[in-house]
Amino acid sequence: MSTTVTAEQFLATSIELATANVLNSGGPFGAVIVTADGRAFEGVNRVTASNDPTAHAEVTAIRNACRELGTFDLSGATLFTSCEPCPMCLASALWARVDRVFFAADRHDAASVGFDDAVFYEYFENDNRDALMPVAKLELGDPQAPEALQPFNTWNTLDSRIDY
Ligand SMILES: Nc1nc2[nH]cnc2c(=O)[nH]1
């Protein structure tokens, strides 16, 4: 007899992963990627455990799924996460072409225990973002043939390129 795992069950699993991860020297975040054909790949936050600020639960789940499946494209997949994805995780899900995201706790719940998710959302919504981290375009070389375009020009002429 086959049993269908519901969205609520996958979300509950992400919360269980998050809680267990706290007791395993990780941050309180867990995630599950479920492919269109029902394969599930888990991830937990390993930022401090692996000295990797990008090792959020969602990114770890995406990396695990992509490595196991041998692809960079998770079209059709759903991301279940114990907490609303931060901007980096949302962008990662977009780049992975994940179809949809379900989360449990939100950015304000995360802020209540000291995490900066809400602060980083404001970075993208706020005109005064330079106060947190200035980002500037720097001109290099001949304005008629900017060095900055060299990689794109090379990419554009490469027949063997793999678009993503
Ligand atoms: N959603 C989410 N927010 C975080 N904030 C800090 N780490 C994490 C994480 O792994 N996931």
Residue 70: left (phi > 0), alpha (psi -120 to 50), or beta? left
Length of the chain: 164
Q: Whose CA is nearest to atom 9 of ligand 1?
A: 56
Active site residues: 58
Mean pLDDT, residues 11-21: 98
Tell me how far apart the alpha carbons of residues 105 and 34 are, in angstroms, rounded to a whole number.
Answer: 19
Pocket of ligand 1 (CB under 6 A): 27, 29, 45, 56-58, 81, 83-86, 89, 110, 115, 117
Model pTM score: 0.94
Of the chain, the percentage scoring pLDDT greater than 90 comes to 91
Q: What is the pLDDT of residue 128?
A: 86
* Ligand 1 atom nearest to CA at 56: 10
Q: What is the pLDDT of residue 1?
A: 67
Q: Are 31 and 79 in contact (CB under 8 A)?
A: yes
Q: Answer yes or no: is the ipTM higher than 0.90.
A: yes
pLDDT in tens, 37-94: 999 999 999 999 999 999 999 999 999 999 999 999 999 999 999 999 999 999 999 9
